Amino acid sequence: MVLTWLHIIKVFLIIIYIQSVLVKLTTSSNPQDWRVIEALAEEHPYVVALLSSTKDYICTGSIISKKSILTSGSCVSYEPKYVVISAAMYNKKINNELVFDVAYTKLHGDYIFDLKTTDPNVTRMHSNIGLVFVSRPVLELFVNAADIGNYYASELKEKRLVAVGYGRLGTTDTVALQQQAYHQTPCTNPKWYYCVCGIEYSTYTKTYTYEFGIGAPVLFGSELVGITATPCGTLSMKNLGIKYNIFTVIGPYLPWIDKSQTNSTIVIKMRTNSNGVERLTMNEHFIILLVISKALG
């Protein structure tokens, strides 16, 4: 039998595949293992870090279009000023080319987030979703946007969900990508609207030591279906010693997301074209557009 180039290529690809599987099997789940962190960054290039005005990490988000980042409403309320993309790890020494200025943010009009009390009869959460818009396109750096899944809470029943976000490494100021797998279970609190809860799988799927990932994407397969409402590793069923998290399902909010992104295109173009308009609020932008349209009509 004569080996053709096609046969040789096939054999070569099979060897590469086997080696990649072996690497995954032998890679530890230690969150400080660079192989774990790099693998997460390669698999989820759309995951970003949201920073404060002092460039400290505050939340995780997901790129969903050229200029928009999806995150939780509570993260938007922290008023992020910068976005870091394509970074497996982040500290203040990072290359500034990966840091993007935030143009403005948008919080859902029905946003309620009151989970600070330990009494489950008092806690409330509704429309915990927000958008962060950057001043220059993030996808110009060949970063793929997340695949959005259109699911409701009932459709995610008993599904395996994975949260991927940034978390602190040890006692350092460095944060790195981490993940945790969850087994979806219904949320029993009637005041948590459009939410599902997830019970953590056993520790072999765990790649975090400290809490991580508030605002991080929740994945069903390769699709982004939710947003973490609280940092992974913070909530637990005290009587059973089981950790869980609350996820906002984004399916019901897709029309709002689409509308917000459409409106943002108008605002960003006006900011770019005029220094005077740049300082105006969103409402003032639309008032100006309305006056112009009436004048031309």
E strands within the chain?
A: 47-51, 57-63, 68-71, 82-84, 89-90, 99-107, 112-114, 124-126, 130-134, 147-148, 160-168, 175-185, 195-200, 217-220, 223-228, 235-237, 242-249
- Per residue in 193-213, pLDDT (tens digit) is 899 999 998 655 566 778 899
Q: How far apart are CA 261 and CA 249, in angstroms?
A: 19
Comparing 56-70, 93-107, 167-181, the range with the smallest average pLDDT is 167-181
**Percent of the chain residues topping a pLDDT of 90:** 48
DSSP 3-state of 97: helix
Please compute the mean of the pLDDT values over residues 175-203 and round it to a whole number. 87
Residue 163 has pLDDT above 50, yes or no: yes
Please compute the mean of the pLDDT values over residues 178-187 and round it to a whole number. 89
Q: Under a CB-based contact definition with an 8 Å cutoff, are residues 196 and 245 in contact?
A: no
Domain-by-domain residue ranges, the chain? 34-257
User: Which pLDDT does position 144 carry in this prediction?
Assistant: 81
Global pTM value: 0.77
Q: How many C-beta neighbours within 10 Å does residue 81 have?
A: 17
Bigger pLDDT: 295 vs 106 = 106
- Per residue in 144-153, pLDDT (tens digit) is 889 999 999 9
**Residue 139 Cα distances to 10, 64, 182, 215, 252, angstroms:** 33, 10, 30, 20, 26
Q: Under a CB-based contact definition with an 8 Å cutoff, are residues 196 and 128 in contact?
A: no
User: Which pLDDT does position 93 carry in this prediction?
Assistant: 86
User: Which pLDDT does position 26 carry in this prediction?
Assistant: 36
Domain 34-257 falls in which CATH fold?
Thrombin, subunit H (2.40.10)
pLDDT band at residue 189, thresholds of 50, 70 and 90? confident
